[in-house]
Structure 1
Amino acid sequence: MTSFLGTPVMVREQVFGNLYLTDKQGAAQFDADDEAVLRTLAAAAGVAIDNARLYEDARRRQRWLAASNELTRSLLSGTDPAAVLESFTSTVREMAGADLVTLAIPVGDGSELVIEAASGTYAE
């Protein structure tokens, strides 16, 4: 490596990663203009990463709200509660990206739980 230029990619005042340039073509070293361009690129990358995170958070909240609404609607519609809970655990498993989701409720004095519904690997 004969020349090197680097700058951090910042996302909400935290370092997300770094951008590096090495071995400048046509010159021995990087100059102030190269540094300004790299910093601008890093700032744009940080904004893009933050926007992507915000968008995904908003989509996730929207999916959870829709699942919650569907659960409420299903329970109030008179659908068999066991079927509603099975559907709900399946939805939660998909949204969470989990291998297994169980829905357990306390019984008696609350020291024991009973699994009412499960979805995923080894759910049986």
Structure 2
Amino acid sequence: MINLSKLPPTTVKRWLEYFSYFVPGTRQGDQVLYPYETLKLLKRISELRMERYHLSTIVRLLIEEGFPMYGKAEQEAPASERTEIDAAESPQPDRQQQLVASLSSLASELVRIADHLNHWKVQ
């Protein structure tokens, strides 16, 4: 992942941790495997950082741009164990859905505020 992204290793590790809800990693022993789409995510984060966006703003932009979000159970458990986790932890998906709904609502409100501020700026 580090070689393909052409980013410093510490940056990749920090971003994979900070943006973990956007990264569907699968743990196999002491390794974490990431799908190819993770490179697209890292590239977009890199572009936004080059434009000097703050990490929290990048989260909002990724949500607005439609990057999928994944739950922690999906990231850490092998596919064969996911159904067992989902069945055993029924409150977890509800909490994740609430989090996604809250983040989407927050993103919408931030866009509304930005539009309002731009309106005043034009006048």
Larger strand proportion of the pair: 1
TM-score class, shorter-chain normalisation, is: 0.3 to 0.5
Q: TM-score, normalised by structure 2?
A: 0.35
